A and B are shown apart, each in its own frame.
Chain A
Amino acid sequence: MNLDRRLLLLAKQYPIPFIASILFGLLGGIALIGQASLLSRIIDTIFLKHTGLENILKLLFLFALFSIFRALFNWTSESEANRGTLKIKQSLHERLMEKLSALGPAYTGSVQSGKLSVNLLKGVESLDPYFSQYIPQLALSSLIPLTILAVVFPTDVFSGFILLTTAPLIPLFMLLIGKAAKKVTAKQWETLSRMSGNFLDVLQGLTTLKLFGRSRERKQSIFEISEAFRHATMKVLKVAFLSSLALELVGTIGTAIIAVSIGLRLWNGSIGFESALFILLLTPDFYLPLRQLGTKFHAGMEGVSAAHDIFTLLDKPEPEKEITAHPSDTLDYSKENIVFENVRFSYDGSGTYALQQINCTLKPCNTIAITGPSGAGKTTFINLLLRFIDPCGGAIMIGGKALQSIEREQWLQRVAWIPQHPYFFNATLRENLLLAKKDATEDELMTAVEYCRLGSFVDSLPQGLDTHIGEQGTRISGGEAQRLSFARAFIKEAPILVLDEPTSHTDPTLEQELLESMNRLTKGKTSVIIAHRLSTVKDADHILVFDKGRIVQSGSHSSLMKEDGFYRNALRTFQENTAV
C-alpha cells in the first residue's frame, strides 16, 4: 500500500484531534477575515470621514477582540494537532515494541542493533511533522483560501476572479518544478549525509591514520571534499530554488495585479475604498496557506522515508503463537527425554530450510555436544530448543508433550542459556545477576560469584556488586562476561542448560578456569553445548554432527571415530594440518 495512504490511516485512528485542529484553524481564518473587515472600516472612517476617536472606539474594541480570538484559535489548532500526533507516536512506538518482542532474538540477531534502535526511536519521532504540520495544512490550504474567496466574490467579482485563476498556479508550479527538483535535492541531501558519515569515518579511524603517519595531511582532504561538495550542491540549489522563486512570484504578482486593478477601478469610482482595502488586506493571506503547504510538505516528507522502515518492520510476519497452553505442568524436566521428531525450520517461510529431517533424542542429565562447520544449522537448533523460534514442521516432544503446547515462559524458566556473547544490562552487577532469580539472597549471589571464580573481580570493583556495568558503566572483559553469565546460569538452577562454548580467543589461564566452571555447571543437568574445542566434544556423552541443515552423524566420540564419515575426516585433516 502507498505510504501516504498508510500514514493517513494512522491519523484516522484518532480523528477527533485532527478534525478539531482543522476546525480551529478555519475559525482562525474566519477571525482573520473579520479583522480585515474591521480594519478596512476603521481606516476608511479615519481617512475619508476624518472623524475623531469616539466614532471608532467600538470598532477598535471589536478589532482587539477578534485579534485575541484569532490568536487563541490558531494556538488551539496547533495544540490539537500536537495531541493527535503524540497519540499516533505513542501507539506506533507500542506496536513496534510489541512486534520486536514477538519477533524475538532470532530476528534481532539478524539485524544491526544500532539501526534498529534508531528506527524504533528516531524513526517514530521523525514522523512528527507529517502529522502535526502537513496533515492539518493539507486541509487548511484549501479551506482558508475558499473561505476568503467566499467573501471576496460578493465584494468584488473581478478580484475574486483573479485570485481564483492565480491560486491553482501555486500547486501546479509546485508539482512541475517540485518533481524535477525533488529528485535532485533528495540525492544531494543523501550526499550530504554521506559526507557527514565520511567525516565520522575519518574521526573513528584517526588512530589508524596516525599509525600510518598520515593524520596531519588528512586535514587538506577534508577541506577539499567539503569544498567540492559545496560547489556541486550550489549548482543543484541554483535550479532547485527556482521553484521557490516561481511560487513567491505567483503570490507577489497576484498581489500586484489586485492592487493595480482595484486601484484603477477606485479611480473610476466603480468600487469603494473600504472594499478595496478589505480585498488588499486579504490577498497575502489568501496565498499564504498555499505557499506554506510546500514547506510543510517538505518537512513531512523527511518522515515518510522513516515510515518506510517502520512499516517494513511492522509487516514482518510473526511466528505463530502456541495454540493450546496447559495451565500448569508438573513434569520434572530433569528426568525427561527431549525428542526431535522430523523437525524442519525455514527462516523466510519458503522452501529453503535452515534445518530439516532433524531426528534426535536428548537424554536427561547427559552432555550433548553439537558440532559442524559454520552455517550448518547449529544455532538454529539451539534457537528451537530455546523456543526463540518454533518448528515449521515436525515436533519437539518432552515427556510425551509437544514443546509448543507448553507455555513459553514456563519452559524458559527451566532453561539456562549461556550465549557466545552474553549481554549485560546498563545496571548494577547485582541487578544483572538478580535477573536470574528475583529473590536470590546475598548468600546465593556470593556463592555463585565464588563458584565462578569472580571473587577477586568483584572485590576489584569500586562498589563491589553494586557497581554499574554495561555500555555506560565499567567495561567488563570477555572472560569476565563469560563467567558472569555462568554465575547467572548457576543462580537460575534450571534443569536444562544450553551453552554456546566460548571460542579460543581468550588467554590460556582464563580458558582453563572457564572450562572448569563449565564442567561443574553441566553436572546433573541436560546440557546442550555448541562445542568449539576438541576436549569438549570428546568428553560429551553424545555428539551431534551437523552439516548443511541436517544431522549427518551422531554418537559418542569413540563410535564416531570408527565410522568413515564427516567427523573422522574433519578431525584427521585438522590433525595433519596442525602437526608441527
Chain B
Amino acid sequence: MISVLKSLLQIVRPYQWWMLLAAVMGFATVGSGIGLLVSSAYIIAKASLHPPFTELQLGIAGVRFFGIARGVLRYIERLVSHNTTFKILSKLRIWFYESLEPLAPARLMHYKSGDLLQRITGDIDTLENLYARVIAPPLTALMVSVLLWILMGKFSLMFSVTLFCFQAAAAVGIPLFTGYLNRGTASKISALQTELQTKTLDCIQGIGDLMLFNRLDDHIRKIHELKKRELALQRKQTLIQKSHESLTGLLMNAAVLVLLWMLAPEVSAGNINGVYTAVIIIAVMASFEAFLPLPDAVQHLEANATAGKRLFEIVDAQPAIIVPESPEKFPADSTIRFENITFSYPETSFPALSEVSFTIREGEKFAIVGPSGAGKSTITSLLLRFWDPAQGNIHIGNKNIRHLDPEVIRKNTGIVDRKTYLFGTTIRENLLLAKPDADDEELKQSLLFAGLGSFTAKLDKWVGQHGMNLSGGERQRMAIARMLLQNAPVIVLDEATANLDTLTEKSVMYSILELCRQKPAKSLLVITHRLRDMAQYDKIIVLEKGTIVEQGSHDELLKNNGLYASMWSLQHRLNPPELLTGS
C-alpha cells in the first residue's frame, strides 16, 4: 500500500504547493473557529471580573475578526481545494492515458469489455479525492495540534503533553481501532456487489431462458440472499463507522476532564490566572473539530490505494512493440511483403499464424479467405504493428516495418473492420479523425461515396454514445467514409461489409474498387469469409488454422477442388441467405 501511495504522490507532485496552500487554508478555518470561541470565552471571563471597559476591547475585536474570518476562510479554502482537486484529476487522466496509449490494443485484449474500462475510469474518479479526503485532513489536524501545543505551552508543558496524548489517540488510535474492527469488510462487500451485478445482469439478459427453464424464482431467490448478505455486512460496517464521531467526542470530553483536574489545583494555588480556565477548556473543545474527518481519511486511503493498485497493474505491462527512436521515412512504394511469419498470442498453445508468406504488390487487389479462427485478422494486426511476429519480417516497400513509425504506418493504411467504433460526438468530429484538416465539402463527398447522402445535411448531428443513434449499417458506412477521407495508399477491408445488406454491399464494394483504380493506384486487401464476386481479385490466399493452404486466382482455386472450392459450393448452395427480412 505504501509503495502504491508513494507512486501516486509522485504523479500529483507538481501540485504540491497547491495542496499545501489548501491545507493551510483548512487550518486557518479551524483556527478561526478556535479563535472565535476562545475570544468569546475571554470576554465573558474577563467581564465577570468587572475590569475597566478597555480591557474587554481586545476580546471584542478578536470576536469580530474571527467571526468574519472563519466564513471567508472557509470560502477560500473550498475554492482552493476544489481547484486543486480538478488539477489533480486532469493530471491523473493524462498520466493514465499516456501510460495506456503504448499498450493498446495488444496488452488490453483482456480489458475489451466495456465494464472493465468503466471500472478503470471509476478508479480514476476515486483518486480524484486523494487530496481532499486523504492528504488534507491529517495535514490540517497536524497544524491544529501544533497550534494547541504552543497555546497550552504558555501555561504548562504538562498541559501540552496531556492534550497531545488525547489528540494522538483521536488521530491514530480511533482510526486504527475501527479499521481493525472493519478489516476485510469493505472488500467482502465489494466482492458481493460484483457477484450481485453479474447475477442481476444474468437475470435481465437471460430472463427469457430462465422463465423457459422454470428457474426464474430460483435465480431471484439467490439474488435476494446475496443482497441480504450484503446488507448485513453494510450494517456491521456502518455501526463501526458511525462510532467515530462518538468516540472522538468521548476523547474530547476526556481531555476536558483531565485538564480540569489538572487546572483546579493550579488556579487555586494562584499559579494560573483563573480567567484562562474557560479559555483553555474551550480551545481544547474547539480544536477537536480538526480530528473528526480523520477516520474517514483512513478509509479513503484504503479505497485510493486499491484503485491506484489496479491502475498500476494495468499500466505496468510492457508494450507489445518497441517504437523505433529515429524511424525511417515511409517508402513511396507500398508493396507489402510478409516473409515467413509465425505468431502466437500470449497464453495460447497454438500459433495464430505459422510460416505465412505472401506479397501484395502496389495497386493489387488481394483477398484472404478462410473459416473463422483461421488467423485472417491477425494479419491486419501484424501489418499495423499492434504486435510483432515471433518469426519472420514484414516489409513495406523495401523497409522492415520495425524501422518505421507505427503511427505513420497506420496513417498510410485505411482500414474498415467489422466493429466500427464511433466516438460520442458529432458526425463531423468522427469523420475529421481521418483527416483533421478536411473541409465540409470533402466530408460531404466522402459521405456520399459511402452511401450516406442523408447525413450530408446533418454533419453536426450527435451520433450518441458509441454511435448508438446510428444503425449497424450506418456505422459501417461511416467507417467507409473515414477510409475515403484518409486517402491512404493501402486499403484493408476486414469483414467490412458483413453488416450491410446485399444491395448496399454491392454498391459500396463497387465504389471502393473504383477508388482503388483511380491514380495513384491503391492496394486493396480484403479479408472475408463470405465469398462474393471473387473473380475481381488479382490473387486470393486461403488460410486454415494459421497456414496458407491454397493460393491463386478465383478460377485457379475452383479448379483445385480444395477448401476454397468446398467453401464456395457450400455458400452458393445455401445462398441467397437474406430473403425478405433484410439485414
Contact = CB atoms under 8 A, between A and B. Distances in A.
| A in complex with B | yes
A269 B243 CA distance: 43
B421 A223 contact: no
A371 B220 CA distance: 35
A48 B499 CA distance: 91
B274 A46 contact: yes
A461 interface: no
A374 B582 contact: yes
Main secondary structure of the interface of B (DSSP, over half): helix
B253 A260 contact: no
B224 A371 contact: no
A570 B579 contact: yes
Contacts of A417: 208-209, 212
A507 to B, nearest CB: 4
Nearest to B113: A471
Contact of A412 (B71, B113, B212, B274): B212
Contact of A90 (B228, B267, B465): B228
Interface in B243-281: 243, 245-247, 249-250, 253-254, 256-257, 260-261, 263-265, 267-268, 274-275, 277-278, 281
A108 B207 contact: yes
Given A90-B228, A200-B118, A477-B372, A67 B205 contact: no
Contacts of B582: 373-374
Interface residues of A, number: 160
Interface stretch (B165-173, B354-362, B516-524, B569-577): B569-577
Contact of A532 (B47, B277, B434, B581): B581
Interface stretch (B55-63, B294-302, B337-345, B452-460): B55-63
B264 A56 contact: yes
Contact of B580 (A241, A273, A371, A386): A371
Interface string A197-227: 1111111111111111111101100110011
A43 B224 contact: no
B391 interface: no
B41 interface: yes
B581 A70 contact: no
A505 B498 contact: yes
A504 interface: yes
A47 B278 contact: yes
A435 B577 contact: no
B239 to A, nearest CB: 6
B511 interface: no
Given A215-B104, A241-B75, A264-B47, A504 B37 contact: no
Contacts of B97: 199, 202-203, 218-219, 222
Given A94-B224, A200-B118, A510-B372, A229 B212 contact: no
B100 A512 contact: no
Interface string B487-528: 000000000001100110000000000000000000000000
Interface string A369-387: 0011110000000000010
Interface in A232-267: 233-234, 237-238, 241-242, 244-246, 248-249, 252-253, 255-256, 258-260, 262-264, 266-267
Interface in A414-471: 415-417, 419, 422-426, 435-436, 470-471
A280 interface: yes
A552 to B, nearest CB: 11
A268 B335 CA distance: 102
B235 interface: yes
Contact of A72 (B117, B246, B434): B246
Contact of B576 (A56, A94, A575): A575
B121 interface: yes
A70 B570 contact: no
A244 B78 contact: yes
Contact of A211 (B66, B220, B384): B384
Contact of B83 (A197, A234, A575): A234
Interface stretch (A2-10, A97-105, A175-183): A97-105
B79 interface: yes
A264 B254 CA distance: 32
Interface string B373-385: 1000000000010
Given A75-B243, A263-B43, A422-B209, A205 B407 contact: no
B214 interface: yes
B201 A117 contact: yes
Contacts of B559: none
A533 B253 CA distance: 82
A503 B50 CA distance: 97
A74 B263 CA distance: 29
B87 A248 contact: no
Given A47-B278, A199-B121, A203-B121, A90 B265 contact: no
Contacts of B264: 46, 51-53, 56
Contact of A53 (B44, B261, B583): B261
Contacts of A197: 424, 465
B74 A509 contact: no
B86 A230 contact: yes
B41 A227 contact: no
A532 B578 CA distance: 6
Contacts of B59: 263
Given A211-B415, A212-B434, A504-B578, A263 B424 contact: no
A79 interface: yes
B256 A267 contact: no
Contact of A100 (B72, B207, B373, B577): B207
Interface string A62-82: 011001101110110011001
A242 B124 CA distance: 29
A137 interface: no
Nearest to A258: B40
B204 A113 contact: yes
A435 B213 contact: yes
B197 interface: yes
A204 B220 contact: no
Interface stretch (B88-96, B155-163, B174-182): B88-96
A97 B60 CA distance: 62
B410 A213 contact: yes
A429 B260 CA distance: 71
A35 B277 CA distance: 16
Most buried by A among B47, B64, B100, B268: B47
Given A83-B235, A104-B211, A413-B214, A200 B254 contact: no
Contacts of B210: 435
A204 B114 contact: yes
A52 B372 CA distance: 94
B469 to A, nearest CB: 13
A89 interface: yes
B41 A280 contact: yes
A120 interface: yes
Nearest to A132: B238
A455 to B, nearest CB: 17
A37 to B, nearest CB: 14
Contacts of B482: 212
Interface string A531-559: 11111010000000100000000000000
A276 interface: yes
Contacts of A510: 371-372
A83 B574 CA distance: 64
Given A79-B239, A79-B242, A241-B75, A509 B570 contact: yes
Interface in B292-324: none
Contacts of B98: 219
Contacts of B202: 423, 425-426, 470
A60 interface: yes
A42 B125 contact: no
A200 B117 contact: yes
A577 B503 contact: yes
A571 interface: yes
A578 B121 contact: no
Given A101-B217, A259-B40, A571-B579, 5 more contacts: A78-B238, A108-B207, A216-B407, A253-B68, A435-B215
6 contacts: A203-B100, A209-B433, A212-B434, A213-B408, A409-B214, A531-B581
